[in-house]
Amino acid sequence: MATLAVGTKVDLSEFAAEALRFLPPDGDLVIVVHPAALRAPGDRHTQVAHLVDREPTWLGAMGEDLLVLVDGPPEPEARAACTARLLGGRRLWEVVRPGALLERDVASPLSTVYAGSVLRPWLVIGETADEALIAAPLNDAANPKWWTPVISRHTLAFDGNLKDGQLELAHVWTLPAGTAGIGALRAPGVPTVERAIRAYYGGP
């Protein structure tokens, strides 16, 4: 199971820094995982963030094996700072297709970094202060949980979509502001997703 508590300071391992496409700025990272992850046997998945002056600039989701501990006081308020950037932003509810999370020569899967088709759609669920997209991947609706809300195909409007989507809220990443949109979540689908995000991340 995950062992690093919320607020723990970490950095990417050298291997992770070479393998990931969407890298954080220089500086320490902090664990912002849901506390329940510390009670999930057999799964070392976690969520990390980079913050500047209590503003998140980058988010990534991966196994603890891709991280190294660094010295520094904990930041237990970091998860709340990330939560404050959700459910807002100019491009909220857009569907985007960022491609792979790993560099081309890196074999997939890698730890618990979200793998699969480079054509996978992602849903924008927030934005950073500098308008980087905060997004979660859409998966087949095969194993729904309270933190993986299922979105009806009728509300996921993008070309070629013929199936319901399962939003993976434990796998949030920041994507470049210039990532092109391919569609959007229609208004009837928004309340279900909003409720799930508030349940998982907290907030009003």
Summarised one tens digit per residue, pLDDT across range 38-58 is 887 778 999 999 999 999 999
Statement: residue 112 has pLDDT above 60: yes
The mean predicted confidence, pLDDT, of the chain is: 95
What are the DSSP calls for the chain, one per residue? ---PPTT-EEEE-HHHHHHBSSPPPSS-EEE---GGGGG-TT--EEEEEEEETTEEEEEEEEEGGGEEE--S---TTHHHHHHTTBS-STTTTEEE----SB-TTS-S--TTS--S-TT--EEEEEE-TT-PEEEEEEEESSS--TTS-EE-TTTEEETT--S-EEE-TTS-EEE-TTPPEEEEE-GGGHHHHHHHHHHHH---
What is the per-residue pLDDT for 203? 63
Statement: residue 160 has pLDDT above 90: no
pLDDT digits (tens, 9 = 90+) for 56-79: 999 999 999 999 999 999 999 999
